[in-house]
Amino acid sequence: MNQLNNDQLKVGLAQIAPVWLNREKTFQKVLEYTQKAINERCDLVAFGEGVLPGYPFWIERTGGAIFNSPIQKEFHAHYLTNAVQIESGHLDQLCVMARENQIAVMLGCIERPLDRGGKSLYASLVYIDRSGIIQSVHRKLVPTYEERLTWSPGDGHGLRTHALGPFTIGGLNCWENWLPLARAALYGQGEDLHVAVWPGGSHNTQDVTRFISVEARSFVLSVSGLMRSGDFPPETPYLSEILGNSSEYLANGGSCIAGPDGKWIVEPVVGEETLIIAKLDYNRIREERQNFDPAGHYSRPDVLQLTINRQRQSTLKIND
Catalytic residue among 10, 109, 140, 215: 140
Catalytic residue among 174, 176, 215, 288: 174
Does the annotation count 49 as an active-site position? Answer: yes
**Under 8 Å between Cβ of 141 and 149:** no
The whole-angstrom separation of Cα 59 and Cα 67 is 12
Does the annotation count 174 as an active-site position? Answer: yes
Q: Which long-range contacts (CB under 8 A, 24 or more apart) does 86-94 make?
A: 86/111, 86/113, 86/126, 86/134, 86/137, 87/113, 87/114, 90/23, 90/27, 91/126, 91/128, 91/134, 93/27, 93/31, 94/27, 94/30, 94/31, 94/34, 94/128
| Of 90, 91, 54, 89, nearest in space to 75 by CA | 54
The whole-angstrom separation of Cα 13 and Cα 269 is 11
Cα Rg, the chain, nearest whole Å = 19
* Cis amide prior to 53 (ω within 30 degrees): yes
3-state per-residue secondary structure call for 159-176: CCCEEECCEEEEEEEHHH
Catalytic residue among 10, 29, 42, 49: 49
Q: Which residues are catalytic?
A: 49, 140, 174
